[in-house]
Amino acid sequence: MSLFGTGAMGRVVRSGVGRRRAQTLVIAVATMMAVASAVVAGALMVAAAAPFDDAFKKQQGAHITAQFDPAKANAAQLAETGEPAGVTASSGPYPSTAFRPVDQAGFPMPTLTLVGRSGPDGDVDRVELKSGRWAQKPGEIVLSASIEGPSVAIGATLEASDTADAPTLSVVGFAVSAGRSADAWATPAQVDALAALGNPATSQMLYRFDTAGTKKQILAHRAELAASVESGALLGTQSWLDTKRAADQGAAATVPFVMAFGVLGIVMSVIIVSSVISGAVGTSLRRIGILKAIGFTPREVVRAYVAQALIPAGAGIAVGVVLGNLLAVPLLAESESVYGAVSLSVAWWVDVAVPAAALLVVGLAALIPALRAGRLHTVEAIAVGRAPRTGRGQWAHRVLGRLPLPRPVTYGLATPFTHPVRALAMLLAVAFGTIAATFAVGLTSSLGAVGASQDPESRAAVTVATVKLNNTAPPPPPVGGAAASPSPVVSSPAGTSKPKVADPAKVRAAVKSEAGLESYYGKLRTEVAVAGVSGSVEAGLYEGDSRSGSYEMLSGHWITGKGQVVVPSRFLERTSTKVGDTVRMTYEQESADLRIVGESFDTSGNELEVHADMANFPAAEPSTFLVEVKSDVSADEFAQKLAAVVRPLGGDATTVPPAEQKSVILVMDAMAVLLTLMLVSVAGLGVLNSVVLDTRERVHDLGVCKAIGMSPRQTVSLVLASVSAIGVIGGLLGVPVGYMLHGIVMPVMGRAVGTGMPSSVLDVYGPVELLLLGLGGVVLAVLGAMLPAGWAARARTATALRTE
């Protein structure tokens, strides 16, 4: 207690903290909530600034990675594209191709972008060798370090494809490209050899510019590159800004909503602390006067009342730091960068800076009412005591007394006008609690809509697969963090036979002939290569009318036929393209130039998933048929009858199980609920504090009312009426602000993961829901006032009359 004084000063501080237990609890919980939210937000912001920038600078990463058509731009022409003003460095051209190797266990790997380079160094993209050595001759390959795993290690052999005459490649090293210019590297001769076998051939150029910090600058440089070569020669580009966002976005989506709760908590802490200390000063005028009379200086009085706020705030801050660290762990666990998982610990400076800032905020919030205590004159403070200023609020009693309501109710409705500043603090507490509840309801509803929109296949009544869905081993884990690719053939573990695969044509015929069929479409989830994008790209290839299984669209329209492709927002960002542009897509060894006709809503993180008509690739066959049945047909019975037909063929038919929520959505939901409960609890405690102060100040008046016949029930109605109007107004203020906050934060969360938000995700509030949330303000205020109302009702009349 030496910080605030010893002896008499320490006793005064300890007495004030111990005597005002409700106020002490309010301050502690409010600061705990604010600090916990701020620690989580700070931790996520640090995680969102992963080590990408340092590595990118060290490796001289490419601001633009470009793929050119070697038939339209030769090596000399491409070399000249690195000479214009604004280009600070360039490397290439390097031969490039896309291929899908098979590991030594026989499992197909994701489609990889392979670039031919004689060494890891260069003016741009100085690839860092993590282990092993660089490829020195044909037959050797260096893989991205993210691909390394039990079945892919140095010395392992890969088949360049699943064909019988595919060349064998030996893994000699693992490397990292901060700009993700490729997934694998080999000698230029090896890349040329693979291209000669039918793999798509492109030429890669790497560029650094003097200005490349914004999307506008990147687009301008891309336009200059396109203009410097023959029309159509530039097949695609990859921006370092999109690569950086992909590396940093593990925690980015969570930051906006946690910061919103943190700001609400901080503002509410300021309101609550100021209200508590102001109330403590207002109810302790006689005590302050006595302290001054026995020798306390104004400065010592100020210190005593600031200390009475800082002590519980300090306890709340300590708990808040611990809670914030615990809450940050599951969110940080969802964060990954190109170099592996982000550390599951909060940066030390966050745990220092946040508590220091919180103490400063609490101290300033307590200082203003404490200065008021220090300026009070001794005689005036002793003479006035705890009584409210004479005549304050009398007009409200006269006006409201004319309402056709019971007198205890009108008395209670007029009570807030006696202490307008305290009533304002209570109103703000209720409003902020309602804001938090409204925002949380919208947030959780939107997250639910996001989860539902990302699994359109679950809308189908029956799923018919070309492989048996039971008694088969799951496919091997994806390589390099890529999403698993459900292909027509489900791989079995080494040493076991592969399951029988049904002929898609026979399965299709069985589906069409089954009674009760309403509609169906076929789908193949696979991987493709897209010019200008390193690594494989997830693809959904559709057969038939797939509108019932379409994704939500942000712009354009869903695929309606051959030659079209729908892509997510991140694809447009990464490739610097727009709806209406053309991209070259390769499936197996078939390539097609497809026009982008729509921008889909996709939250799948770093992975890109495109959607195209299966007719673009004649070799593709559906692995799944999604079926709708007629309204009078049972989906379970339909699936059972169809399964009996397709299982002998090697396929299966089942009803579609409910979609499971992604873990990150569940974590965000839990966080939103927890933070909302904390904020609402703080708001309720703020109401409790204000009503306790009011009832204690007016205990003598309540004694008089009881002496002339007021019953305990009427006393309760008086106290509750004193907060009901505040609850109504707080709800009316809080719901619109919470609604607007949701409308601001959700698009920011979407932009953090590289997508816009469709109306189905934003428009989640209904009229009834908004009305109930508005009534929640009244419920919050009434619940906060219940305890002091019960205390006032139980107070003995004689005791109340003796209290002054």
One DSSP character per residue, 491-559 reads ---TTSPPPPB--HHHHHHHHHHSTTEEEEEEEEEEEEEETT--S-EEEEEEES--GGGPPPEEEE---
pLDDT at position 489 is 33
Instruction: Give DSSP secondary structure letters for 546-610.
Output: -GGGPPPEEEE----STTEEEEEHHHHHHHT--TT-EEEEEETTEEEEEEEEEEE----TT--EE
For residue 490, the SS3 value is: coil
**CA 649, CA 507: separation in Å to the nearest integer?**
8
What's the average pLDDT block by block, 10 residues per block, for the chain (804 residues)?
Answer: 58 69 76 80 66 78 92 91 88 89 77 90 88 92 81 85 84 88 92 86 93 89 90 88 69 72 75 72 68 80 81 88 82 48 64 87 80 74 54 69 79 79 85 90 87 79 73 35 33 40 86 89 88 78 88 90 90 84 87 92 75 91 90 88 87 69 67 79 80 72 72 83 89 93 88 81 90 90 84 68 54
pLDDT at position 377 is 75
pLDDT at position 631 is 86
- Cis, bond preceding 93 (omega within 30 deg of 0): yes
Tell me the pairing of strands 652-655 and 462-465: antiparallel
Are the C-beta atoms of 747 and 757 separated by less than 8 Å?
Answer: yes
List the beta bridge partners of residue 524. 541
**CA 476, CA 466: separation in Å to the nearest integer?**
18
The beta strand positions in 316-454, using DSSP E, are 336-337, 340-341
Calculate the CA dihedral of residues 38, 41, 43, 46 and round it to 10 degrees: -130
Residue 585 CB contacts under 8 Å (≥ 6 apart), including other chains: 528, 529, 530, 531, 537, 539, 565, 591, 592, 593, 594, 610, 612, 616
Residue 659 is given by DSSP the state: P
Calculate the CA dihedral of residues 740, 745, 748, 749 and round it to 10 degrees: -140
pLDDT at position 47 is 63
What phi and psi values does residue 473 have, to the nearest 5 degrees? -75, 150
**CA 121, CA 89: separation in Å to the nearest integer?**
13
Are the C-beta atoms of 663 and 497 separated by less than 8 Å?
Answer: no
pLDDT at position 251 is 57
Question: How far from the centroid of its chain's Cα atoms is residue 495's Cα?
Answer: 42
**CA 186, CA 139: separation in Å to the nearest integer?**
8
- Residue 270 parent element (H or E): helix 254-282
Tell me the pairing of strands 462-465 and 624-629: antiparallel
pTM: 0.65
pLDDT at position 482 is 32
